Structure 1
């Protein structure tokens, strides 16, 4: 009778452990889903995290219930650990990509539509998945980059700030008037309506080169206007310099020939 009572109590305790543990696991699953949903995390990541966490908790609950029944769970734990190690080694690359995808979703270094340079690829972000990120290059090639490669290197986001600074080099000859050249360059900047007034554009004498005086032209534009303004301003500066009678010199060297007596 005592033995049966002991077995019955252990069985009841195991059932209670399983029922209560299952309830706690479901509650934690809902809390995780609710908290991650508030941060606008990818639904795929929410589902995966919730299911993974629930499964892990249920494994511990089942082991605790079996242990209460007197079942030796050491061997089960060893088998689960060995299986987990084997799966981890087999999926090492995929798990690395997954971890990088989770970090990307949490820290948001870029978003869909941004123009970035990451993982050795430059392009517009089209899709962000758990394991890979899809980019479209400027010549419209689709490149799928593993997330671990992106997060393992530096990321340059050209769209994050909303504005970019153009940097052009305008050259004149040593015989030209540098003050007049500076006025011409500022005038061409003012004519371009897409250039932003703030931050203020700058024009400065950058260097006295081997065969030319080089000015640097640095206006600010909105990110979508960058290349259009870059090309248009280059063309306008070249035409204006020629129209004002100035010259854009070619590299040249003076050669002196001496004749021995």
Structure 2
């Protein structure tokens, strides 16, 4: 089979003519693309600086900046292909169909995305808060778009999906600034009740980390078959809470032993935040 030189020349000329005809569109589209990418970078940095100056929550700032970045990129891409002469209506329809298919296959992820937005907007907790949720007691390290990253007291990292987290009960131990420890001491019936209460009250007053307002409380909580239960309720700052609980247990035991008071081996402890009503 022989190729006709005139046939090849005709195709080459046609290609060159087409290239010359569309070269201004290609060049202008590339210029728009590069200038647009540079402008988006500048706008994103500017928006981040503005949000930092206005003291917006860091998680919210990052989330909004990322959303704005991708919206601008999509708009730039649509402008780019339109400048090339490619019909955008059919392209947008294809993107819509793809978005629907992806959305149906990622319903769980979309639920987590919506949960992340709710957490960021309504702020039931923030980075650094100690919370209890989904059976986990830990400190918030990072609020991401799909999950919240926590770290426990024994240095375990836990990721909780935002959809599950936002739909469940959340106890925030850091929001009020201080916490009350609820301790229960059991003493024998032979114990001088007033003397025991005075000793515990003195121990609490001598601890500088126990807050004077609200005042600590020492009262009779219950009378059982073999003991009298005293409710001991000191208040402490969030950062001092663990130390106050430990010191109260140790110092009360030592003080009661020094006075020869029989201290029954029964102690329970649980915590509440400021808004919890007293028993």
1:224 aligns with 2:239: yes
Q: Match of 2:128, SS?
A: coil
Compute the RMSD of aligned alpha carbons.
3.5
Per-residue deviation, 1:183: 1.0
Contact kept in structure 1, 2:215 and 2:234, CA below 8 Å = yes
Structure 2 distance, partners of 1:240, 1:59, is 75
1:102 aligns with 2:120: no
Q: Match of 2:202, SS?
A: helix
Structure 2 distance, partners of 1:122, 1:79, is 46
Query: Aligned residue for 2:65?
Result: 47
- Residues 188-218 of structure 1, C-alpha deviations (whole Å, 9 max, x = no match): 1111111011001111011111100111011
Contact kept in structure 2, 1:211 and 1:249, CA below 8 Å = no
Q: Structure with the greater relative contact order (CA < 8 A, sep ≥ 6): 1 or 2?
A: 2
Q: How many residues align?
A: 222
Structure 1 distance, partners of 2:201, 2:58, is 47
Structure 1 distance, partners of 2:191, 2:163, is 54
Q: Which of 190, 201, 206 is the equivalent residue of 1:186? A: 201
Query: Aligned residue for 1:137?
Result: 152
Change (3 A) 1:48 1:152: same
- Residues 31-64 of structure 1, C-alpha deviations (whole Å, 9 max, x = no match): xx69977544644322333245557889999xxx
Per-residue deviation, 1:249: 3.9
Q: Which residues of structure 1 form unaligned runs of 5+? A: 1-25, 66-70, 252-261
TM-score normalized with structure 2 length = 0.67
Structure 2 distance, partners of 1:57, 1:150, is 33
Per-residue deviation, 1:120: 3.0
Contact kept in structure 1, 2:186 and 2:265, CA below 8 Å = no
Change (3 A) 1:99 1:36: farther
Moved over 3 A (4+): 33-44, 51-61, 75-82
Query: Aligned residue for 1:205?
Result: 220
Structure 2 distance, partners of 1:224, 1:178, is 32
- Residues 82-134 of structure 1, C-alpha deviations (whole Å, 9 max, x = no match): 33321101222222222211222222222222111123322111122112221
Query: Aligned residue for 2:98?
Result: 83
Q: Which of 152, 156, 164 is the equivalent residue of 2:179? A: 164
1:127 aligns with 2:142: yes
